[in-house]
Amino acid sequence: MSGRPALVGTSFKHGHLGAILDDGFEDGFFEVHAENYMGAGGPPHRALASIRERHAVSLHGVCMSLGSPDALDTAHLARFRDLVARYEPAFVSEHLAWSSHGGSFFNDLLPLPYNRATLAHLCAHIDQMQNAIGRTILLENPSTYVMFASSTMSETGFLREVAQRTGCGLLLDVNNVFVSAVNHGFSAHKYLAAFPLEYVGEIHLAGHSEQRDDENQPLLIDSHDRPVADRVWDLYREVISRIGTVPTLIEWDSDLPDWDVLRAQAEAARQVMTRVVTAYDGGVCHAS
């Protein structure tokens, strides 16, 4: 069982800056979306610099469109590269998704068919990004609402092959696993059993909302606007029991609570890691 510190973090929101600086938040890190900091300076950079002086930062991209068959936007990639050089983040990540096609940009993370054609251009784009920034990235599994008849690989098998081909790591979003499992009717436990956990360098946890589809079936939305659900915590414990401590981040992007609420969610993740590792070290559990 891993002896790494139980490093936990949260999304960084500027309204929390004063409370964070007063707090200290030892062994804590903060995630920012790269696209919010691609201007040259101003208040966003001053706030992030204050955080970076005291804490590790995770740089999370949302617009690289790695899964698109179109060429990457080299200007966007250059701005991303400059951010990596400026802040030297502990983690750099992007999504298994696309958001641009044929010169049009869509303000969303759109799903992909899992087949050899997608695999080829995705891996080429990851190689291009990693070469440009001089770092390996972590690729995040998506939350999905549709599946493709043209898929010839499972999502977990696809992610494994991407990691093997490109040398990238994986960002395991446990809430995304649960959301997709409910929406598509598969077992989240079986998904995690097949997931290439050996490549996981970071974990995301978040809250989700529930709607009803046209057939009155539950439809979960990866909304990032509430506490982590109990069933997602259960899946997280399952993952940690298999791989030990992994840097874990709480995503919360709308309907923001006070800093104390967000911090408490992060500390709950730390407690899970501490308890699981202590149980293993004490011989209570046995790694699978």
Q: Is 287 inside a domain boundary? A: no
Report the candidate in 179, 115, 118 with the shortest Cα–Cα distance to residue 144: 179
Q: How far is CA 256 from CA 22, 43, 44, 233, 260, in A?
A: 19, 20, 18, 20, 11
- The CATH number given to whatever domain includes residue 222 is 3.20.20.150
Q: How many CB atoms lie within 10 A of CB 128?
A: 16
Distance CA 10, CA 227 (A): 12
> Looking at the domain assignment, is residue 288 inside a domain?
no
Rounded CA-CA distance 8/249 in Å is: 6
Range of the domain at 106: 8-281
Provide the token pair at 229. 């659900």
Q: Is residue 1 part of a domain?
A: no
Domains held by the chain: number: 1
Specify if 203 maps to a domain: yes
Give Dmax (Cα) for the chain: 57
Cβ proximity of 97 and 109 under 8 Å = yes
Q: Going residue by residue through the chain, which has 288 residues, state the pLDDT in tens, using 9 for 90 and above.
A: 555 778 999 999 999 999 999 998 988 999 999 999 998 789 999 999 999 999 999 999 999 999 989 999 999 999 999 999 999 999 999 999 977 566 655 566 778 999 999 999 999 999 999 999 999 999 999 998 888 888 899 999 999 999 999 999 999 999 999 999 999 999 999 999 999 999 999 999 999 999 887 788 889 999 999 999 999 999 999 999 999 999 999 999 999 999 999 999 999 999 999 998 888 776 544 333
- Please report how the helices 230-243 and 174-184 are oriented relative to each other, as an axis angle in degrees rounded to 10: 120
Q: What is the C-alpha to C-alpha distance for residues 50 and 116, in angstroms, rounded to an integer?
A: 44
Q: Using N-to-C axis directions, what is the helix angle for 74-87 and 116-133, rounded to 10°?
A: 50
